[in-house]
Each structure stands twice: as C-alpha cells, then as structure tokens.
C-alpha cells in the first residue's frame, strides 16, 4: 500500500519536530531533517522513490490552495502594508536586483557554462515562476527547480539567524527579507515566526516573483553578451 | 452539540470551496495571459483584491485557511525529497550551486532587511 508513504511523511515530520523542539540551533530544522531522512532512505534501501512521489502528490497539490490562502494573512495586515507601500516596493525592487546580480556574479566567477548561469538566474523565486523563467531564457527547468528548493532551505534554515546577527529585528523587515530571498519555503518559516513576518514574507514573495519574471529575461540577454 | 459540529463542517467546506474557486480562476488567468505567473499566485492576488474590496467577507474564507497555513511546511517535505530526482544534475555542478545560493541568499537577506529597517525608521509601532 503506497499510500502509507503519505502517513510516513506526516510521522517523520512530526517526529523531527518533536525531537528537535528542544534544540535552539538553526540546523535543528524539522523540514531539513525530514527531507534528509527520506533522501537517505531511498538512497540506501531498495525502496522505490517513485512510489513515495506518487503517494505524496496530495501534499504537493495542497501547496497550491495554501498559496491562495496566503491572501488572508496579507489582508489582515492591510493597514500596515498600505502604510509602508513605498518601503515594501523599494526593498523588493532592490532585493530582486541583488538576487539576480549576486547570484549570477558569484556563479560567473566559478563557471562559464551559460546554460548553468541561466538556470541559476531565477533561484530566489517560487518554483513554478522559476521553471517558467528557465524555459523562457534557455536554462534547464528541472535544475532551476532543484536550485530553488535548495535556496529555500538555506533561507528557512539560516534566515532568521542571519537577520538576528545583523540586528534586523523589525518583524516587517524580517518578513520582507525572507520572502525576497527564500520565496515560499522561507515564507513557511516566516509564518511560524509570527503573523506579521508571515504576511510581509507572502507579500515580498508575490512582488519579487512578478518582478523577477519581468527582469530575468532582460538579465539573460545581458549574460549572453558577457 | 451535533448541530454545532455540522455548522463547523459546513463553514469549513464552504471556505475550501472559495479557496478552490479562486485557485481555478487563477489557473484560468494563467492560461489566458500566458505570463510566467502561476495560477496560485493569480489566485492569491484575486482573493486579496476581493477581500480588500469587501466582495468576499473574511469570515467566509477563514475556517480552512488556518489549517492550510499551519501545515504549509509539511507540504514542502515531498517537494524537498524531490531533490533526489535531480541529485545527478546537482552533483555535477554542486560547488557553483551551493556557493552562489549561499552567498546570494545571505546578501539578499541582509540588504533587504537593513534597507527596509532604514526606510521605516521612526515608525517603530510594530517592533
């Protein structure tokens, strides 16, 4: 019965959450260790990952209505968002440029593989947008999707630690930074941190996603000239 | 007591139906516009607009959204396990991917956080 894998996801996740609850370290992240557990399981045992994937399509499908549901925390913060619309818009614009430039520049120092550079371009936005951009600019969509997940995990695991380290204590600032840098996985972590962080992260996720969809093709055109 | 449980169930189902309707509308917009913006993001924007314009009352959608959002991290577990399928592709380029992802994510976090805090200086009502 492959659907026991659906239950396995729930049990492993709740188990990790319970086990790691007492550790106050960024690496004590239940999402990270649930993923590590399953990847190890399917790498070292003859169990078939395809069965797992098939059983868990339900959870992946639930992500779509969950993203629509982000409209509620956003609406609850409507007054605060209106009051800071200029700061939000400017921060997201700078964030999108920074993500595109810093990601490409760092990668460019290490490789001249154009297809790889183009696949890394949409790494800070939510995966459906990233895959569409990759297809459009000539990157490898599945590589982009994988990098997006990795970036999301980096943000979810280290994000709040980094923000604290640099004295970024304002809840709205934390939310915007998480949404800009680590899209939906970062937003999931921001929701755990609090309602304000969750709402501002959702907002940044949407604004940065749309801006990146517009700007990435222009960047790709520029990279191809380098 | 039974009538209360029944009411809760009705409210919950109604709220799910509203969310799915907006997801469907979002997907339609994605198809119609052909833009690289996914249906779920269009759905979010449409629902947010309708809530803001008081076309849809908050009470109608809220019952199921708390549940959906409190488990959103759980839904990302199978997404992350999906990295397994790209292990080959990732391992071919892992130094570039790991370093540029780490550096870029940290730069964006710090710059955006600092900039936003600077821009709203003097308005500390939500600290």
Q: What local confidence, expressed as pLDDT, does residue B123 receive?
A: 59
| ipTM of this complex prediction, to 2 decimal places | 0.90
Q: Which residue of B has its CA nearest to A76?
A: B58
Shortest distance, CA B10 to any CA of chain A (angstroms): 18
Q: Flag if A132 and B36 touch (Cβ within 8 Å).
A: yes
Q: What local confidence, expressed as pLDDT, does residue B88 receive?
A: 84
* CB-based contact, B108 to chain A, within 8 Å: yes
Interface of A with B in 191-220 (CB under 8 A): 191-192, 196, 198, 202, 204, 206, 209-210, 213
Residues of A in contact with B111 (CB under 8 A): 94-95, 98
CA distance A73 to A30: 23
B11-42 residue pLDDT tens? 999 999 999 999 999 999 999 998 888 899 89
Residue B106: alpha-carbon gap to chain centroid: 21
Q: Flag if B23 and A64 touch (Cβ within 8 Å).
A: yes
A75-85 residue pLDDT tens? 999 999 999 99
Q: What local confidence, expressed as pLDDT, does residue B70 receive?
A: 86
Nearest CB neighbour to A163, from listed B95, B113, B123 = B113
Q: In chain B, what are the helix, strand and coil shares in percent, each to the nearest 5?
A: 85, 0, 15
Residues of A in contact with B73 (CB under 8 A): 13, 30-31, 188-189, 192
Residues of B in contact with A152 (CB under 8 A): 76
What would the 3-class secondary structure string for A159-221 be? HHHHHHHCCCCCHHHHHHHHHHHHHHHHHHHHHHHCHHHHHHHHHHHHHHHHHHHHHHHHHHH
Residues of B in contact with A130 (CB under 8 A): none
The angle, 0 to 180 degrees and rounded to 10, between the axes of the packed helices A57-69 and B39-52 is: 30
* CB-based contact, B21 to chain A, within 8 Å: no
A177-219 residue pLDDT tens? 999 999 999 999 999 999 999 999 999 999 999 899 889 988 8
């Amino acid at each position: 019965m492959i659907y026991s894998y659906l239950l396995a996801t729930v049990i492993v996740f709740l188990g990790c959450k319970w086990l790691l609850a007492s550790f106050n370290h960024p690496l004590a992240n239940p999402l990270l260790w649930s993923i590590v557990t399953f990847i190890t399981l399917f790498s070292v045992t003859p169990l078939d990952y395809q069965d797992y994937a098939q059983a868990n399509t339900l959870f992946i499908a639930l992500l779509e209505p969950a993203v629509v549901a982000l409209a509620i925390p956003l609406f609850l913060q409507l007054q605060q968002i209106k009051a800071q619309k200029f700061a939000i818009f400017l921060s997201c614009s700078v964030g999108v440029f920074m993500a595109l430039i810093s990601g490409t520049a760092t990668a460019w120092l290490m490789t001249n593989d154009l297809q790889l550079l183009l696949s890394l371009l949409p790494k800070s936005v939510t995966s459906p947008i990233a895959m569409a951009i990759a297809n459009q600019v000539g990157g490898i969509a599945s590589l982009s999707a994988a990098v997006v997940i990795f970036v999301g995990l980096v943000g979810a695991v280290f994000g709040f630690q980094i923000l604290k380290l640099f004295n970024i204590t304002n809840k709205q600032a934390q939310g915007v930074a998480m949404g800009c840098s680590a899209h939906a996985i970062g937003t999931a972590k921001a929701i755990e941190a609090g309602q304000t962080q969750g709402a501002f992260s959702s907002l940044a996720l949407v604004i940065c996603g749309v801006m990146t969809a517009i700007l990435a093709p222009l960047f790709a055109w520029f990279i191809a000239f380098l | 007591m039974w009538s209360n449980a029944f009411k809760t169930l009705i409210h919950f189902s109604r709220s799910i139906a509203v969310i799915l309707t907006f997801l469907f509308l979002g997907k339609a917009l994605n198809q119609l516009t052909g833009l690289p913006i996914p249906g779920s993001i269009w759905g979010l924007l449409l629902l947010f607009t309708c809530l803001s314009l008081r076309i849809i009352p908050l009470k109608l959608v809220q019952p199921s959204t708390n549940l959906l959002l409190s488990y959103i991290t759980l839904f990302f577990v199978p997404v992350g396990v999906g990295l397994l399928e790209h292990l080959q592709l990732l391992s071919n380029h892992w130094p570039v991917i790991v370093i540029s992802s780490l550096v870029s994510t940290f730069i964006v976090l710090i710059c955006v956080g600092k900039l936003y805090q600077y821009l709203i200086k003097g308005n500390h009502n939500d600290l």
